Amino acid sequence: MDIVAIIAENKIREAMERGEFDNLPGRGRPLQLDDLSGVPEELRASYLILKNAGVLPPELELHREIMSLKQLVDLCYQEEEKQQLTRKLNEKILRFNLLMERRGTNAAVRYYREKIYRKLGRGF
């Protein structure tokens, strides 16, 4: 452990002994942490900023719309409306597939592909 980590641990321990963490909101409940394993490390800060601002990447926005349309199609009983929703759904799926094809793959796949190629000695 480096000196900075030791100092931080000591400060945290002292604050705990003084009871500074006793009345925090959410005490005793698990933390709601974002799973950022699919986001490359160098993009995580910007990803969180955009996420907290309510901005979604186009592929996630399309994915959300696709999921909503699928639910609507499943719940729809009128045949004409069901066909109209199915057309919209197919259009969204096509746009999603074209977007992903244009990008090659998502950023996480590119990131790990580069790491694997380097490890195998193929370069990239």
pTM for the complete prediction?
0.47
In this prediction, residue 105 carries a pLDDT of 60
What is the radius of gyration, based on Cα positions, of the chain? 23
From CA 118, how far away is CA 81, in angstroms rounded? 52
Predicted confidence (pLDDT) per residue in 56-105, tens digit:
778 888 888 999 999 999 999 999 999 999 999 999 999 988 887 777 66
In this prediction, residue 107 carries a pLDDT of 64
From CA 107, how far away is CA 40, in angstroms rounded? 7
117 Cβ neighbours under 8 A, 6+ residues apart? 123, 124
In this prediction, residue 120 carries a pLDDT of 82
- Residue 85: Cβ within 10 Å count: 19
Average pLDDT over residues 12-33: 87
